[in-house]
Structure 1
Amino acid sequence: MSDKNKQILDQDEHLMDHDYDGIKELDNPPPRWIMLMFYITIGWSILYGAYYFWLKEGDHQDAEYAKKSMKHDDKYQIASLSADELTAFTDEASIAEGKQIYTDMACMACHGMNGEGNAIGPNLCDEYSLNGCDFESVFNIIKNGNPAKGMTAFKGQISDEKIQKVASYVMTMQGTNPANAKEAQGEKCE
């Protein structure tokens, strides 16, 4: 028996009684693995509906987003400091940590390793400032940035406490005279 005859015999057993213009339809069931996936999908949808809608055990998208946002804010301590808490650190450990953060966040790419400034960023060591001379101004420019001048906002990258330490370190730079310092920019601080 040839392969062609065998195929015709196999088709004959799958033929349905349905006939239209001489065209006969084969009853060709889907493979078992597809049917298994189909039944698993139906079962999963029933469990999903029960968990989220009928029993109301699971959170909907907006509640889940709020929870994840709170976890993120807690992890990175994004909550803003009040004006009373916004003071410059003076202890050596905080200043050293501020210097480390200055290095880790690559501030030297724009302001130089010692705050001397370069073609991109201003000199942080002189008595002049583009954004205000007080600690709050330095803190705010590090936190919120100034996109028009190319200053990155760091509020989404580090916590307010770390920004406070970097600002404290930057304030200790004022009055130092590093080599190759950039010329003064902005208003003179009094």
Structure 2
Amino acid sequence: MSDEKNQILDQDENLMDHDYDGIKELDNPPPRWIMLMFYITIGWSIIYGAYYFWLKEGPHQDAEYEAKSMKHDQKYQITSLDADALVAFTDEASLAAGKQVYTDMACMACHGLNGEGNAVGPNLTDEFWIHGCDIQSVFNIIKNGEPAKGMTAFKGQISDEKIQQVASYVMSLKGSNPANAKAAQGVKCE
């Protein structure tokens, strides 16, 4: 019985003057941990606002975006190589690097392990090519892809230098005549 009296007395202490249709309002304060979180949030927002807006110490989101875009462009060399000024690499190191890119990017899934072609991709070792057989054409098809034929664009996945290396490697496969080569497709290159 005394517990009920204590509860009633506690309610009477917190009872406010508001009364609406017999419903009385109690003034119960929130728990201390909620109030602590509330004050920490207010303090953090003041520090954040001062750092980024009033003192202008931190970078704005526009500056962060520009910095990240610049870093991305440098990593992938987005506009560094002009397709018209390309030359095919012929040194062993570049061709080995091109072969490694060919393997790493799983080009053999469509073009075969030795460029012989398969049910999906064309033969890269014969004299007949679908999209041109010069280094510029090969570079462009690797970089920009050919969605209608199922060729993936690799410009967002590897750098222009690596595209040039793999294009040079593909050019070096011409005339290698691997076993099980796919029938000729496209136009004969002169």
- For normalisation by structure 2, the TM-score amounts to 0.92
CA distance in 2, matches of 1:181, 1:97: 24
Q: Spell out, residue by residue over 1:87-110, the C-alpha distance to the aligned partner (whole angstroms, 9 max, x if none).
A: 111111110111111000000000
Match of residue 164 from structure 2 = 164
- Quick one: which amino acid aligns to residue 122 of structure 1? P
- Quick one: which amino acid aligns to residue 109 of structure 1? A
Q: Pairwise mapping of residues 98-177 of structure 1 onto structure 2 (< 5 A)?
A: 98-177=98-177
Match of residue 97 from structure 1 = 97
Q: Which moved more, 1:101-110 or 1:54-63?
A: 54-63
- Quick one: which amino acid aligns to residue 71 of structure 2? K
Q: Which moved more, 1:25-34 or 1:108-117?
A: 25-34
- Quick one: which amino acid aligns to residue 150 of structure 2? G
Match of residue 60 from structure 1 = 60
- Quick one: which amino acid aligns to residue 27 of structure 1? D
Q: Shift in Å at residue 29 of structure 1?
A: 0.8
Which structure 1 residue ranges, 5 or more long, are not aligned? none
Count of residue pairs the alignment pairs up: 190
Aligned residue for 2:140, secondary structure, equals helix
Do 2:75 and 2:159's aligned partners in 1 also have CA atoms closer than 8 Å? no
Q: Shift in Å at residue 57 of structure 1?
A: 2.2
CA distance in 1, matches of 2:170, 2:116: 11
Q: Shift in Å at residue 73 of structure 1?
A: 2.1
Which structure 2 residue ranges, 5 or more long, are not aligned? none
Do 2:125 and 2:177's aligned partners in 1 also have CA atoms closer than 8 Å? yes
Q: Shift in Å at residue 6 of structure 1?
A: 3.8
Q: Spell out, residue by residue over 1:12-41, the C-alpha distance to the aligned partner (whole angstroms, 9 max, x if none).
A: 222123323322111111111111111122
Match of residue 181 from structure 2 = 181
Q: Spell out, residue by residue over 1:107-137, the C-alpha distance to the aligned partner (whole angstroms, 9 max, x if none).
A: 0000000001011110000101111111110
CA distance in 1, matches of 2:40, 2:147: 52
Match of residue 8 from structure 1 = 8
- Quick one: which amino acid aligns to residue 15 of structure 2? L
Q: Which moved more, 1:76-85 or 1:56-65?
A: 76-85
Q: Shift in Å at residue 175 of structure 1?
A: 0.7
**Closer, same or farther in 2 for the Cα pair 1:131/1:84, shift >3 Å?**
closer
Aligned residue for 2:113, secondary structure, equals coil
- Quick one: which amino acid aligns to residue 156 of structure 1? G
